């Protein structure tokens, strides 16, 4: 009989599904729940047990991984009362056994993480806020960058679980993982904005954007954003790996954190406004590399 912890995954969307499958592939007894059933077939094929409610998924599990869309959704599913068709269900933490490990890997605000951590610990649970970077590709490959906030003990306990999904780094106490993700998202978002402007300037100025990108990849401007999202921009392939509406949620949370700390971050503010405008122009469900379309719209170019 395996000594590995039994795990539940709440939220099996673009990121959560491959993360759950990687946990099962690593030999963890894995159960999962998601509001939508669209990905259940892939989960079942990977050996993940699909459960009908969050409470059923987490009951008697040693660790619970949460990969939901936002802080409010995490709070609702973990602590609130919500209803599925013909089925009421109490928040999942009420069904977790004392001492279980709660690992919230969603991108949530710093204060949200601190609050949820305190409420979880008050119920006798161990907590980590452990958001990720690497997108759908990293989730599939099990190569995510994982930024963990919580106690040393909780991190050590979680490390074998997190290692099945990527490379975990302990940042510090509860809330610092969430803050590190906001720092990451600030960097990602502003770089996407810079690459969007660069590709537009190259094209309108008469240079081949593909060749400009190729040349840039050999110099100091090289980055994962230029490599991966620059290619998406060239192909106009905006099928979401990271939807723009989620990027906006993160830039807005980063703005909130900066305001709370008394910081003036002008690049963040401008980038947040660009993503807000993209979402307002029906780009919320497009990949965040679709910020190129907002730059083109502002310049009256013909394919925005």
Q: Percentage of the chain with pLDDT > 90?
A: 88
Whether 104 and 219 share a structural domain? no
Whether 164 and 275 share a structural domain? no
Whether 225 and 142 share a structural domain? no
pLDDT at 81: 52
Residue 81 sits at φ, ψ, to 5 deg, of -105, 130
Whether 61 and 146 share a structural domain? yes
93-109 pLDDT per residue, tens: 999 999 999 999 999 99
CB neighbour list of residue 238: distance below 8 Å, 6 or more residues apart = 232, 286, 287, 289, 290, 293
Confirm if 250 and 198 have CB atoms less than 8 A apart. no
How many CB atoms are located within 10 Å of the residue 222 CB?
A: 12
pLDDT at 77: 95
pLDDT at 83: 41
DSSP string, 107-171: ---HHHHHHHHHHHHHTT-EEEE--EESHHHHHHHT-EEEEEEE-HHHHHHHHHHHHTTEEEEEE
Q: List the domain range (segments joined by +) for residue 59.
A: 7-173
Whether 146 and 200 share a structural domain? no
Query: Model's pTM, two decimal places?
Result: 0.87
Coil, strand or helix: which one is 243?
A: strand
| Residue 198 lies inside a defined structural domain of this protein | yes
The encoded tokens of residue 101 equal 């490990």
End of a domain among 173, 197, 229?
Answer: 173
Whether 212 and 161 share a structural domain? no
Whether 211 and 289 share a structural domain? yes
How many CB atoms are located within 10 Å of the residue 56 CB?
A: 16
CB neighbour list of residue 102: distance below 8 Å, 6 or more residues apart = 63, 64, 66, 78, 93, 96, 120, 125, 126, 127, 128
| Residue 2 lies inside a defined structural domain of this protein | no
End of a domain among 127, 154, 173?
Answer: 173
| Residue 25 lies inside a defined structural domain of this protein | yes
| Residue 268 lies inside a defined structural domain of this protein | yes
Residue 102 sits at φ, ψ, to 5 deg, of -105, 115
pLDDT at 89: 54
Whether 195 and 253 share a structural domain? yes
| Residue 303 lies inside a defined structural domain of this protein | no
* Residues in the chain where the model's pLDDT stays below 50: 1, 82-88, 304
Whether 59 and 105 share a structural domain? yes
- Assign residue 274 the CATH number of its domain: 1.10.1040.10
Confirm if 172 and 194 have CB atoms less than 8 A apart. no
Catalytic residues: 181
Confirm if 227 and 251 have CB atoms less than 8 A apart. no
SS (H, E, C) 201-233: HHHHCCCCHHHHHHHHCCCCCCCHHHHHHHHHH
What count of Cα atoms within 13 Å lies in the side-chain half-sphere of residue 239? 5
Whether 98 and 136 share a structural domain? yes
| Residue 269 lies inside a defined structural domain of this protein | yes
Whether 166 and 187 share a structural domain? no
Domain count, the chain: 2
pLDDT at 209: 98
The CA distance from 194 to 227, in Å, is 13
10-27 pLDDT per residue, tens: 999 999 999 999 999 999
Whether 228 and 204 share a structural domain? yes
End of a domain among 154, 173, 192?
Answer: 173
**Residues shown for the chain:** 304
Q: Greatest CA span in the chain, whole angstroms?
A: 65
| Residue 46 lies inside a defined structural domain of this protein | yes
- Assign residue 35 the CATH number of its domain: 3.40.50.720
pLDDT at 303: 64
| Residue 162 lies inside a defined structural domain of this protein | yes
């Amino acid at each position: 009989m395996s000594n590995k912890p039994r795990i539940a995954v709440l939220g099996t969307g673009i990121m959560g599904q491959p993360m759950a499958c990687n946990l099962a592939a690593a030999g963890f007894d894995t159960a999962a729940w998601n509001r939508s059933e669209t990905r259940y077939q892939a989960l079942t094929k990977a050996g993940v047990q699909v459960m009908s409610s969050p409470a059923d998924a987490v009951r008697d599990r040693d660790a619970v991984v949460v990969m939901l869309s936002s802080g409010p959704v995490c709070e609702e599913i973990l602590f609130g009362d919500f209803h599925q068709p013909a089925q009421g269900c109490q928040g999942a933490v009420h069904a977790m056994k004392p001492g279980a490990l709660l690992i919230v890997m969603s991108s949530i605000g710093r204060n949200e993480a601190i609050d949820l951590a305190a409420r979880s610990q008050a119920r006798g649970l161990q907590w980590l806020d452990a958001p990720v970077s690497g997108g759908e590709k990293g989730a599939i490959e099990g190569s995510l960058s994982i930024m963990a906030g919580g106690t040393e003990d909780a991190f050590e306990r979680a490390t074998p679980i997190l290692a099945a999904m990527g490379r975990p780094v302990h940042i510090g106490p509860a809330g610092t993982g969430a803050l590190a993700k906001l720092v990451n998202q600030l960097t990602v978002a502003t770089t996407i904005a810079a690459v969007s402007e660069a590709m537009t300037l190259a094209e309108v100025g008469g240079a081949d954007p593909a060749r400009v990108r190729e040349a840039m990849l050999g110099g100091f401007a090289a980055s994962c954003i230029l490599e991966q999202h620059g290619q998406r921009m060239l192909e106009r392939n905006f099928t979401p790996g990271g939807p723009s509406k989620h990027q906006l949620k993160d830039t807005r949370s980063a703005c909130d954190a900066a305001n709370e700390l008394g910081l003036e971050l002008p690049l963040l503010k401008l980038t947040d406004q660009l993503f807000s405008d993209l979402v307002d122009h029906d780009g919320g469900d497009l990949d965040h590399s679709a910020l190129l379309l907002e730059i083109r719209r502002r310049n009256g170019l013909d394919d925005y």
